[in-house]
Chains A and B, each alone.
Chain A
């Protein structure tokens, strides 16, 4: 636990040691705002809720989250510090989890800093704050899902750009697996059962369910399982790739 905490603190501190944290948060907030107000037509919608705001989260995360996760392991491997980290008395799971939690906490911080949106809707109207809270929770879990994927793929390579591109590609598949772009590919020949399974992998399906204000245990379990599975995969990849 000590070791987990040490890795977590080091990693989280790492974001703030360089302008990375500042740049990321500023870009994150600016794009969130721009998407919601301009692309989403927030004012024109005449609705005092954050549905439009949350609608953009999966698509923004698709590019911004891999930017956080790409360095997690790729950089350790490139600089060789992975040898230091894994020869310290740190269990592998603590290293994997500590890094992931630090990235998750950082993305959580960026998400929390969108609170002016919440203030705005409360100023403009009388929104259902329970639904908004659910939306934030869903968004946070979804960020965790993207991060777990990105963390695993970051361990695959020592090149951060490759890690980024791979993560975006895989995250994209997980985002849209319930949409026609993926389903159409399988419908025709695969049985309905398979189609349902593929569709149930979609971040969008689960995220949209949560943002409607219904926190279904199944959606939470989905994200928790997804995060767990990708982190285990991450541990396996890190262990396998050590020699290279």
Chain B
């Protein structure tokens, strides 16, 4: 539904987006990750037809965004960064305006507005000027606007930014509900969100794609992937770490004291797919030694660590993109 190819944007001498290509199918939720200034928003602005690309193309539901802008834009619901709206309007008036622009007729418009208001729980503030609403409500007005015409393609620039945890949860639930029949792109720098709602994640850094895969495959790149984490209560001794390290198949060990507890992270020498053997060994050792175990689990990998290693490196690995395709 969304096919991006070689998309590039220069601002004078500065290249904000450099030859980005990917596609999103119906049912996919693509998480767009990257540090501030990586080119996430610029890419979204090009996909939605706000900015003209310097090179490359974007096709939305078969419509080229440059040559057939309006037809492409009709299929998109877009939540721009910061969820801008007309502050002097009420949510009701604002949504009516959007409905008119989207060419929804009288009864269609009313149904669409009711549906969007219900989905975003705006009912209580429909007649207050948007300027007087809290950040969470303003964000939800933007969300309601973007889903009003039930678009096949949804593009959201930081949809949960500035929301409290409850609201974040609700918005994620909403995106999850809609995801089956839409192609969705969301940008975020909240990594847990990627794990929670995205079927695929794309990390971009300085305008280039540095990683593209499922959240699990990205986490598998983490050095924590398949590591075993053991948390013990009470006093810990140097001998404990020594004994853990002596277990077969352990390459190294990290010890992090936190309050009255201590967490040992054990890295296996060889990366195997799921290392239950190692967990068993640790569990046996802890039982035999009678250690006060508070927690013991195998790490799936840490997305934040992958994110940092990919976006901080001076040389972005250029092979990543080919891997993804």
Contacts and interface: CB of A to CB of B under 8 A. Distances in A.
Identify which of B45, B71, B84, B145 gathers the most chain A CB atoms within 10 Å of its CB: B84
A87 B48 contact: yes
Interface stretch (B87-95, B195-203, B207-215): B87-95
B89 A87 contact: no
Interface string A67-103: 0000000000001110110111111000000000000
B78 A87 contact: yes
Given A87-B78, A88-B101, A79 B51 contact: no
B100 A88 contact: no
Contact of A91 (B11, B48, B70, B80): B70
Contact of B11 (A9, A14, A18, A243): A243
Nearest to A88: B101
Contact of B89 (A17, A83, A243): A17
A83 B102 contact: no
A83 B84 contact: yes
A107 B129 CA distance: 24
Contact of B76 (A79, A83, A87, A90): A87
A89 B84 contact: no
B51 A14 contact: no
Interface in A224-244: 242-243
A18 B50 CA distance: 29
Contact of A10 (B81, B89, B145): B89
Contacts of B50: 83, 86-87, 242
Given A87-B76, A88-B73, A242-B50, A79 B100 contact: no
B80 A84 contact: yes
Task: Give the size category of A's interface with B.
Answer: 20 to 34
Contact of B84 (A3, A5, A6, A80): A80
B88 A17 contact: yes
Interface residues of B, number: 30
Given A13-B93, A84-B80, A87-B78, A6 B88 contact: no
30 contacts: A5-B100, A6-B100, A7-B101, A10-B86, A13-B93, A14-B86, A14-B88, A14-B89, A17-B89, A18-B88, A79-B86, A79-B87, A80-B81, A81-B84, A81-B85, A83-B50, A83-B81, A83-B84, A84-B78, A84-B84, A84-B145, A87-B48, A87-B76, A88-B98, A88-B102, A89-B70, A89-B71, A89-B102, A91-B70, A243-B11
Interface of B: 11, 45, 48-51, 70-71, 73-74, 76, 78, 80-82, 84-89, 93, 97-98, 100-103, 129, 145
Top 3 A-B pairs, shortest CB-CB distance: A6-B100, A80-B84, A89-B73
Interface of A: 2-3, 5-7, 9-10, 13-14, 17-18, 79-81, 83-84, 86-91, 242-243
Given A2-B103, A79-B84, A242-B51, 16 more contacts: A2-B100, A2-B101, A6-B100, A9-B100, A10-B86, A17-B88, A17-B93, A80-B82, A83-B81, A84-B78, A84-B145, A87-B45, A87-B78, A88-B98, A89-B73, A89-B102
